[in-house]
Amino acid sequence: MTSTYLILATFAMAGVTFIIRALPALIPKKLLDTPWLHRLNESLPLSVMVLLILTSLSYQQLSATTDIYSTELHLLLAQIGALFLVLLVYHISRQLLISMIVGIATLNGILWLLSNWLV
């Protein structure tokens, strides 16, 4: 990749980001107040979070012969444990930032416990 390509790609990404952020100000209020757009606005964050979580789970290296001491299995178990705790904390508190912090701490804590316990 040349530096010209990287500069053009950066400007293209900045332009797309600007257009996406400026678009709601350019759309008439009448179109923004439709019921289907309100329903989409309510359900879209949860849908995006579910897709991000499902694509981030690392189960690609697992097979039927994976032993209990493999790091891939430890990572998957830690991710699933952190996922359940994040869902529980979010369901109780409705605070996304707190849920994210709990998830990161839980993921690292479970990985630390599994690496020290099963060594």
For the entire predicted model, the pTM comes to 0.52
Q: Is the pLDDT at 53 greater than 80, yes or no?
A: no
pLDDT digits (tens, 9 = 90+) for 8-23: 999 999 999 999 899 8
pLDDT value at residue 10? 96
pLDDT digits (tens, 9 = 90+) for 62-116: 555 555 566 777 777 788 888 888 888 888 988 888 888 998 898 888 888 877 7
pLDDT digits (tens, 9 = 90+) for 54-74: 776 666 655 555 555 667 777
Average pLDDT for 20-36: 84
Helix 96-117 vs helix 71-93: crossing angle, to nearest 10:
150
CB 106 within 8 A of CB 65: no
pLDDT band at 37 (very low <50, low <70, confident <90, very high): confident
Output Rg (C-alpha) for the chain, integer angstroms: 21
